[in-house]
Structure 1
Amino acid sequence: MAKGLLSENEIDRQAYALAERQFALVQEVLPVSAVETLAQEVVRRLAFRMPRSAMIDSMPSQQEVDRLCAALLSTEEVAGDRIILAARRDGASAEIIYLGYVAGAARKLGTMWEEDRVSFVEVTLATSRLYRIIRGLRHILDSASLHGAAERHVLFALVPGDTHTLGIEMATDLFRRDDWDAELSVGETHDEVVARTERDRFQSVVLVAHSERSLPNLISLVLALRITQPLAHLVVAGNIVDLREDVGTLVGADDVIPEIQSAVERLRAIIAADK
């Protein structure tokens, strides 16, 4: 369970705790170079979340962003949480929280990392805390992300680097025959998959991987989609499910689909459970 989580009605406690557990597990399982790449992905995705319509005057000052960064880098586990929740209580909108505080802190951390003012260990800790916060506040940070998205609109995406296409093609066809609006992504890069989900707003994304070698790419893709599509249902399928019992927790997915025969019913249950 997450340690010291403040009692606030807006927080999705399960998502918060799972994000915390995921980062701890990732650091146990993956080599340092892979963990560093994942931290860079989170910083990059959050840093480029820019204001669309919020008044510039209402954004936090640089001093407030610096204070949040210091809290995220501190030895106090929930210091950053307190700053974000205090801003929310003071009337900061979801857009200001996400695009002002969170994105601003990510840009600051990225700059500090590039200039060697923080170590890899420090920035990974701060990044995991920042990611945990946005997962906990996912419902308010992007409450309109799935507005108008059809429940049966699903994307089947082969994880970049994986070349086994037969299973994912069969699964996509199975869902189409059950009247789902199922789309297929094979051979697309990491950024292309993320851009496609931002453009088309899928209710669910099934990520297919068949080898443990795909784990870093799979985790990176889930992290990116969690940031850009906080409310989408993310599910893992393919041989990776048989190879690692903990794959769902490790990659931060909502669930796994162990076999194609039960895939339709399984995804229906996952969607129903999140309502």
Structure 2
Amino acid sequence: MGESSDRKGSGLSKTQQPAIRFLVESALRTVISNTTRSAPRTREEWIQRLCEALMSDSESSYRAAIASLMATGVSSEEIFQSYIPAVSAYLGELWVSDRASFVDVTVGASRLQGLFRDKGGQASAQWSDRSIPLGQSVLMVVPQYEQHALGAFVAADNLRQHGLWVHMAIGLTREELAELSGTRRFAMIGISVATRNSVEKKPSNL
């Protein structure tokens, strides 16, 4: 009678109960492991932690990791100027050594570029051409055939730190670039390519 009542109360058979218990205990172990996981102590450990967060399924993990890093006293500028380029290089190492899949590395790189886009958008919202100390604009070009844009975002961020307004031109055609450069006066036009081999593909009118 008691056994029958237990089954009715739980809604699970004897064979189902151990399986559910195993799943619950496994989930609890995962939560405890993530909670008690020690914080990185060195710059290299932080870079690895950031890479893991960038490639994770969670959209908020990498932002939480960055927030944790800043809580240790690392400034936002140091993160963008030092940590993120190092994280980008480490993602490349993981891909070359087959320790991360193409999808994982692509997701991580895309999120890094998103951080720079957000930062650049905030700067553009705060500054206009006339309010910038130097009053000069730069066109940063990432050609259509180039698949790596993170370097261009890093360079653009550095230029903004020196008081320049940077317009990002990513994947534009030759005609679009010609029209853009003709309608605005740029103090400099930069082209970002990953390797020297990409220079040979440079459009003749750039």
Q: TM-score, normalised by structure 2?
A: 0.48
Structure index of larger Rg: 2
Tell me: higher relative CO, structure 1 or 2? Use CA pairs within 8 A at least 6 residues apart.
1
Q: TM-score, normalised by structure 1?
A: 0.38
